[in-house]
Structure 1
Amino acid sequence: MEASLRSGEVVRLARGRYALPNADDARAAAHALRGVLCLTSAALHWGWAVKQPPERPQVAVPRRRVVAPERARHVEPATARPRSGRRRRRRHHPRPHARGLPAPPLVRRRAGRRGLRAARGVLPGRLRALVRDARGPHALHMRQVAVRASPDAANPFESVLRAIALTVRGLTVRPQVSLRVPAPGGGTTFLGRADLVDERLGIVLEADSFAWHGDRAALRSDARRYNAFAAHGWLVLRFTWEDVMFEQERVRTTLTAARRTRTRALRRAPREPAVRVA
């Protein structure tokens, strides 16, 4: 071991704890503390998309473990409560700490952690089963997340927008809905796929990211799609990443106004939607 340390093939993380030089920083931090990755760090470890990566690795250690201050500066330590009467294999997993996952401030204040994207590779039924027996603080919020999680969600940006929409009473949106209109000769014509749709009110919410909509071809495609939605009676609302992440009250105010406008319109002139939703 000493020869490997001198040659740089292995690095010492802590007393009795070693890793390869190219080891992932977060996993190395957990290994040094004899802990496991948790919360957002665990989600990143398994390749899940997240709203925002943590500034420092999030590491769970046993409840009575004391983390030295010089080590705590480099991680976000959390405590893990082991199940009584059994030993668990050490795995980097977000589920035991899902109750501590951050939520958008507006969502946390009004409606809990709702509308989040289903974890990649985890079916909604499996997700609900994982949190069904949860107890303690925020257990109800964990179950609300599981009920509303959808494998159809495209990315965290869209999911945060859906979480905000779920705090607006009377607004119910579904992710990634294909909109079609009856064709003159029979059948249907595909208008496009919308990020979030309230079918009853005829509202489309679009999460517009410059990363995906930043060139001329994307701009042309989006303009044609939005025009097609609007021409067939859909109210199209577009939201930027900055507003969804940092100006959530502004987004909610806009959604509330749109819901009121469409609700009044439906009361005055109820009609069948002109567009078929697939």
Structure 2
Amino acid sequence: METLAEVLKRLGGRATFAELTQLTSKRKVAAAVSAGDIQRLARGLYGLPGNESADQLVAIAYDGVVSHLSAAATWDLPLLSRPKKPHITVPKKRRPRPGLPAVLHWAPTSAEDRTRRLTSILRTVTDCARILPFGEALAVADAGLRLGLTRRELIAATTVMRGSGSINGRAVGTAATAASESFLESMLRALLIQDGIEGFEPQVTVTRGWFRARVDLGHRQAQVALEAEGYEYHGTSSAFAADCRRYDELVAAGWLVLRFTYQQIVFEPAWVVDVVREALSRPTGHSARIAGAHLLGERAERVGW
């Protein structure tokens, strides 16, 4: 005779109380729950233990799917902070009902999303683009592209967005790139985009003889490099020396290097933008030599050389 765990496995891992009691008794269902052989997922719904994540259990309780920030965390997309309560999307006409703590969203979902109780990467990115600030949404979208989404897919999905958050969503779709390599780099690039600062490209390669290095964001014409510095630190003297050499070579190649920390990018965005604008206003390379020669000529005229 099949055990209740075997019955649930045969039924796809989930079954209603009515389905189980047709094959056994209420007492045996209660005993299986008590023994930990099966678990109560929601009122009248049972499943195998360990099959679902905590967020998926909440989604099952609401008969919805894990979405938005919770889906981003599940897909390992970067977030400034993880959500305190799971985000769950339920059908549009579903009435609110008592349940576990959750942030509920009402929207249609695909059959594939409902089967796995989780929105796809594309749907997750577009959902986040609706509700997150531009910088955080851009970081999620950049990471989504690195995971295999195409720009064509993302732009197509954001172009047809309507309603709340659609303007932000379309801006994110246009600006997103797989070239960005970190959450902080995406956040820094977002500050420049929002302030109308143009010319910076992600992961620009700088060469000087044998030397070759990539900078997080580089302005080729102005020769200004921006680096987004996370919490990482140099664990050895050789690593510290290599970093010093890298920045010395960049400066020797004529580049002005600005390094911004997590705290500055997240909590002092106006200062970061001001510093970048000031750096761009300073003459560099050929322009600097012309400006220097012009200044020397003015001084020569004043002293009668």
CA shift in 2, pair 1:167/1:96, >3 Å: closer
Equivalent pair of 2:129/2:169 in contact (CA under 8 Å): yes
Task: Give the TM-score taking structure 2 as reference length.
Answer: 0.72
Equivalent pair of 2:70/2:86 in contact (CA under 8 Å): yes
Whole-Å Cα distance in 2 between the matches of residues 142 and 208 of structure 1? 27
Q: Does 1:140 align with 2:161?
A: no
2:177 aligns with one of 144, 150, 153: 150
CA shift in 2, pair 1:267/1:114, >3 Å: farther
Identical counterparts, % of pairs: 28
Uncovered stretches (5+) of structure 1, i.e. residues with no partner: 184-188, 271-278
Whole-Å Cα distance in 2 between the matches of residues 129 and 63 of structure 1? 23
Matches within 5 A, 1:35-184: 35-68=64-97, 71=100, 74-81=101-108, 88-89=111-112, 90=114, 92-93=118-119, 94-95=124-125, 97-103=127-133, 117-119=142-144, 120-181=147-208, 183=209
Q: Does 1:230 align with 2:251?
A: yes
SS in 1 for 2:282: helix
The equivalent residue for 2:14 is none
The equivalent residue for 1:199 is 220
Whole-Å Cα distance in 2 between the matches of residues 36 and 63 of structure 1? 13
1:24 aligns with one of 26, 34, 53: 53
Equivalent pair of 2:130/2:168 in contact (CA under 8 Å): no
Whole-Å Cα distance in 2 between the matches of residues 66 and 218 of structure 1? 58
Uncovered stretches (5+) of structure 2, i.e. residues with no partner: 5-28, 292-305
CA shift in 2, pair 1:126/1:96, >3 Å: closer
Whole-Å Cα distance in 1 between the matches of residues 164 and 66 of structure 2? 20
Q: Does 1:33 align with 2:41?
A: no
CA shift in 2, pair 1:137/1:267, >3 Å: farther
Please list the CA deviations of residues 223-269 of structure 1 after superposition, one character each: whole Å capped at 9, or x if unmatched: 21111111111111101112212222222222222222358x94884
Equivalent pair of 2:130/2:164 in contact (CA under 8 Å): no
Give, as a single letter, the amino acid of the residue that structure 2 aligns with 1:60: T
CA shift in 2, pair 1:39/1:262, >3 Å: farther
Whole-Å Cα distance in 2 between the matches of residues 255 and 168 of structure 1? 11
SS in 1 for 2:88: strand
Equivalent pair of 2:155/2:174 in contact (CA under 8 Å): yes
Q: Indicate the structure whose relative CO is greater, using CA pairs within 8 Å and at least 6 residues apart.
A: 1
Equivalent pair of 1:11/1:21 in contact (CA under 8 Å): yes
Whole-Å Cα distance in 1 between the matches of residues 46 and 283 of structure 2? 61
CA shift in 2, pair 1:63/1:255, >3 Å: same
| Higher share in helix | 2
Equivalent pair of 1:13/1:32 in contact (CA under 8 Å): yes
CA shift in 2, pair 1:43/1:122, >3 Å: same
Equivalent pair of 1:124/1:150 in contact (CA under 8 Å): yes
CA shift in 2, pair 1:250/1:69, >3 Å: farther
> What is the total number of aligned residue pairs between the two structures?
251
SS in 2 for 1:51: coil
Q: How far 1:198 moved relative to its partner? A: 1.4
Equivalent pair of 1:177/1:196 in contact (CA under 8 Å): yes
Task: Give the TM-score taking structure 1 as reference length.
Answer: 0.78
Q: Does 1:250 align with 2:278?
A: no
Q: How far 1:142 moved relative to its partner? A: 1.5
Equivalent pair of 1:114/1:141 in contact (CA under 8 Å): no
Q: How far 1:205 moved relative to its partner? A: 0.8
Equivalent pair of 1:95/1:130 in contact (CA under 8 Å): no
The equivalent residue for 1:186 is none
SS in 2 for 1:49: coil
CA shift in 2, pair 1:57/1:260, >3 Å: same
Question: Which piece of structure 1 moves more, 125-134 or 113-122?
Answer: 113-122
Give, as a single letter, the amino acid of the residue that structure 2 aligns with 1:215: G
Q: How far 1:141 moved relative to its partner? A: 2.3
Please list the CA deviations of residues 75-105 of structure 1 after superposition, one character each: whole Å capped at 9, or x if unmatched: 22222146xxxx744252215624423126x
Whole-Å Cα distance in 1 between the matches of residues 47 and 230 of structure 2? 38
Equivalent pair of 1:204/1:235 in contact (CA under 8 Å): yes
- Please give the root-mean-square deviation of Cα atoms over the aligned residues, in Å: 2.8
